[in-house]
Homo-oligomer: A and B are copies of this chain.
Amino acid sequence: MTPGRLVPPALIVVFLAVWEAACRYLAVPDFILPAPSRIGIVAVENAPLLLSHAGTTLLEILLGIALSVAVAVPVATAMFSHPAVERSLTPLLVASQAVPVFAVAPLLVVWFGYGIVSKVLMAAVIIFFPITVSLLEGFKGCDREYRILFRLMGAGFRQTLRLLWWPWALPNFFTGLKVGVSVATIGAVIGEWVGAQHGLGYLMIQANARLRVDLVFAAILYLSVMGLGLWAAVDAIGRRAVAWKVKKA
């Protein structure tokens, strides 16, 4: 999906219309679910505030993505090359997915303080899992025949990785990255629950505590747009990177 094709089509218009109508005619109170028009107005009126918070969050997300990619790639590689590592790490990784943040938030504060680090870490932790799993499955999906070809050509592990496994798993990597960046927004927001002074997550908690549900949703709108932008960017890069697949067709 190229950015151009993201222009909201019929279904989205229908979705918003139904939402708006539901709020108006079913008299859904604002603080339960604000109408899209209301969210839009709040989002525009508070644009300077929201944008400044959004900047902080975006920075955290981008750093989180960079960090998790930087860790996921070697980890997936290690798990792929050493089944023992896979056997050891998989249970830890899967188990870690069941840990809710609030339980470890004080720990994060203890270790990383109130700065940007803990937020970046939270975002990274959330993106990390889908990327690693997808990349690993991608590596594993490589046809044995190709591996053998490389072995016969005398390729070492690094060469096979660079010339075969990595390009082979690239589509999977991008699938994982797409899932990852979409949920990264949540990661950063959750990270901001841990002692943040700025950012959309901070703003949302504040607004939520103040029962400014419309502002919460306006912040969500900004987050959603951010998520969409990241998705579209990854998708565009992904398409370019696996152009040979498209071309072949």
Chain A: residues with CB nearer than 8 A to chain B?
A: 1, 5-6, 8-12, 15, 28, 32-33, 84-92, 94-100, 102-104, 106-107, 110, 129-130, 133-134, 137, 141, 143-144, 171-172, 175-176, 178-179, 182-183, 185-186, 189-190, 201, 204, 208, 213, 216-217, 220, 223-228, 231, 245, 248-249
Contact B97 A216 (CB under 8 A): no
Nearest Cβ on chain B to A113's Cβ, whole angstroms? 14
Nearest Cβ on chain B to A219's Cβ, whole angstroms? 9
Contact B226 A185 (CB under 8 A): no
- A100 and B208 alpha carbons, distance in the complex (Å): 12
In the A-B complex, the 4 residue pairs with the closest CB atoms: A11-B88, A95-B224, A97-B182, A98-B223
How many chain copies does the complex carry?
2
Further contacts, 14 of them, CB under 8 A, given A12-B92, A102-B208: A1-B90, A8-B91, A10-B84, A33-B107, A94-B224, A97-B183, A98-B226, A100-B190, A103-B217, A130-B130, A133-B175, A133-B178, A133-B179, A144-B249
List 27 A-B residue pairs with CB atoms under 8 Å apart, sorted by A's residue number.
Answer: A1-B87, A5-B87, A6-B87, A6-B90, A8-B91, A9-B84, A11-B85, A32-B110, A90-B231, A91-B228, A94-B231, A97-B182, A97-B185, A98-B226, A99-B224, A100-B204, A102-B208, A103-B208, A103-B213, A103-B217, A103-B220, A133-B175, A134-B179, A137-B175, A141-B171, A143-B249, A176-B179
Chain B residue, CB-CB nearest to A231:
B94
- A72 and B143 alpha carbons, distance in the complex (Å): 28
Contact B227 A179 (CB under 8 A): no
Cβ–Cβ < 8 Å partners of A216 in chain B: 103
Contact B102 A186 (CB under 8 A): no
Cβ–Cβ < 8 Å partners of A223 in chain B: 98-99
Cβ–Cβ < 8 Å partners of A94 in chain B: 182, 224, 227-228, 231
